[in-house]
Structure 1
């Protein structure tokens, strides 16, 4: 009989993608995409707000 308790493997170290870091270029590209997405969401929200304000002023 084995009396030592079973230790579950660390999930962060067992997956191959967790150990490998993306290259620096991919990380910069991801940051740039995130920035552009946020900029476009913000611009769209501002335009929708201005449109809503304009419609309220017309009524």
Structure 2
């Protein structure tokens, strides 16, 4: 989740920034949908992530 710790370590760690709030929101919606419509088909969701390149990748 690209925590602050990643930029404090040496070498600075590359990480992936994830939309944590949106993931939580999608999970809650899925749970509510499953409760209200138990026979509904599962849904797949894709949320955008961002690669945060730092020293540990050797390319920053």
Q: TM-score, normalised on structure 2?
A: 0.35
Give the number of the structure whose residues are more often strand, by fraction: 2
Greater RCO (CA < 8 Å, at least 6 residues apart):
2
Give the number of the structure whose residues are more often helix, by fraction: 1
